[in-house]
Chains A and B, each alone.
Chain A
Amino acid sequence: MSQIPAELRYSESHEWVQRLAPGHFRVGITDHAQELLGDVVFVETPAVGQTVTAGASCGVIESVKAASDLFTPLNGEVCAVHAELADNPQWLNEDPYGQGWIFELQGSDEDFAVLLDAKAYAQLSGS
């Protein structure tokens, strides 16, 4: 069954969020999401400096068989993107919570606190 690390928070659209420091978050897609997508071949990330809105599309993940929107779980400003994914899109499949991280943003700790915890996400994703 798919992995759901206890220390992360989750969105209903299958992204995970890691709190790196107060107001500083890292975002990727969950193990469940990468299983649904199949082999990822291309990731279109948001741009550094871009303002993103929770629940809105901010990029695209293309697998062999389907294109899927990338949503941001938090409001904020993108402060880093994982540029190496351009040449290594398979990292989303191989290590979705590690090497497969997608972008980082500056956001609010209050917004983070109301995201799903691992237990709630496990229920949602049927894992």
Chain B
Amino acid sequence: MNELLRTTPFHDWHLAHGARMAAFAGWEMPLHYGSQLQEHHAVRQAAGFFDVSHMRPLDVWGPDARALLRYALANDIARLDDRPGKGLYSTMLRNDGGILDDLIVFHLSSECYRLVLNAATAVQDLEYLQSLAHLQLWQVRFLPRDDWGILAVQGPRALSLVSPLLGVPALQNCPRFQGLELEFSSLFVARTGYTGEDGVEILGTPERLLAIADALHAQGVAPAGLAARDSLRLEAGLLLYGQDMGPADSPDRSHLAWTVDLRDPKRDFSGRAAIAKERHGILHQQLWGLVLSRHAIPRTGYEVLAEDGQIIGTVTSGLFSPSLGRGIALARLAAPYGPGMSAQVRIRHQVFPASIVEPPFWRQGKAIYPL
């Protein structure tokens, strides 16, 4: 395949286990190992594991690490003070409120934080944070964890499978978004994920992660590829950076207003003024869910129409939902179209009816909308 693509430490493992590989955000990643549908259902019903080593951990150290991240992130990491290991989902905004990335930040200590960045944005995120620190003369050091990969284990059985492998009996008692440093900080396990199911994401050395993957596989847990990850995350109403939102979109227009924390009036952060201004006006656009029928499958870029035929927006992500057995999408729609209203999606030369809904489509083992 393309020799310019980066590969993860699992590359040989994927090929040995029959993966069909594909390019994603500059990486050669497993798309599926035979059947996206089987992998999807395995995660919904039991468990599956994913190599997500294209996502990049970045440790931020120093006396001003907290000040830097309180400025750079829209959510407020002061929420994590005195809670070692606790994580928070946040957007990172430009001054004009456009989204630079979405990420999870963990508090390791008052002077050390760990970010997990998207593959496509990791390099520019680091450069951006470095430039902020440089401008403000903040005392911060950056340590990209290029020595680590990431293995996600997801599904209702994930915790009970992983606990004995890591020798952590109390993993089930670990709250959501809590991370634990294990094995003298050579392994970091957090109760997070991107599937709408319970589970963990494990950050560590390639050797350790491969051993965990092999142990899971020996117990009959199947690997799952990026294709299943995409259908799982879309059912869970989770956005994909660069596809559902990007620098031209604000959190308020991307169903992510909850990632913006304005409670501390003294905290200045990048994008704050723009968001405050946007909240004084009328929101002209929002990201909503669409539910269609079994044979109407919306795809990225398809037009969304009102019932009278007027164009009201565009599908940002769409696919056949394996759990719901119908077409679902996230779509960027003009105000005032929203949940409870009907729309149509143009699929090739026909238009198909769609219900506008509030994401997610699926949560904790069941469909949110009647089938």
Residues of A at the B interface (CB closer than 8 Å) are 35, 38-39, 41-42, 44, 60, 62-67, 90, 93
Contacts and interface: CB of A to CB of B under 8 A. Distances in A.
A36 to B, nearest CB: 8
Contacts of A38: 31-32, 35-36, 227
Nearest to A57: B348
30 contacts: A38-B31, A38-B32, A38-B35, A38-B227, A39-B35, A39-B37, A41-B297, A42-B294, A42-B297, A42-B320, A44-B295, A60-B348, A62-B297, A62-B320, A63-B36, A63-B320, A64-B36, A64-B40, A64-B227, A64-B231, A64-B319, A64-B320, A65-B227, A65-B231, A66-B299, A67-B297, A67-B299, A67-B347, A67-B348, A93-B35
Nearest to B347: A67
Contacts of A39: 35-37
Given A38-B35, A39-B37, 12 more contacts: A38-B227, A39-B35, A41-B297, A42-B295, A44-B295, A62-B295, A62-B297, A64-B231, A65-B230, A66-B299, A67-B299, A67-B347
A35 B35 CA distance: 9
Given A38-B32, A38-B36, A39-B36, A64 B322 contact: yes
A67 B37 CA distance: 16
Contacts of B37: 39, 64, 90
A39 B36 CA distance: 6
B188 to A, nearest CB: 31
A65 B40 CA distance: 12
B20 interface: yes
Contacts of A62: 295, 297, 320
Interface string B216-234: 0000000000010011000
A20 to B, nearest CB: 29
Per DSSP, chain B at the interface is: mixed
A90 to B, nearest CB: 8
Contacts of A90: 37
A60 B348 CA distance: 10
B96 to A, nearest CB: 33
Interface string B308-338: 0000000000011010000000000000000
Contacts of A93: 35
Contacts of A66: 299
A93 B32 CA distance: 13
Interface centre among A38, A39, A62 (most CB of B within 10 A): A39
A126 B230 CA distance: 27
Nearest to A64: B320
A44 B32 CA distance: 24
A32 B31 CA distance: 15
A12 to B, nearest CB: 21
A44 B352 CA distance: 15
Contacts of B36: 38-39, 63-65
Nearest to A36: B20
A42 B348 CA distance: 15
A96 B348 CA distance: 25
Interface centre among B31, B37, B322 (most CB of A within 10 A): B37
Closest 5 CB pairs of A and B: A39-B37, A41-B320, A64-B320, A39-B36, A38-B36
Nearest to A60: B348
A42 B296 CA distance: 9
Interface in B330-371: 347-348
Contacts of B322: 64
Contacts of A64: 36-37, 40, 227, 231, 319-320, 322
A13 B297 CA distance: 23
B227 to A, nearest CB: 5
Given A64-B37, A65-B36, A65-B230, A35 B20 contact: yes
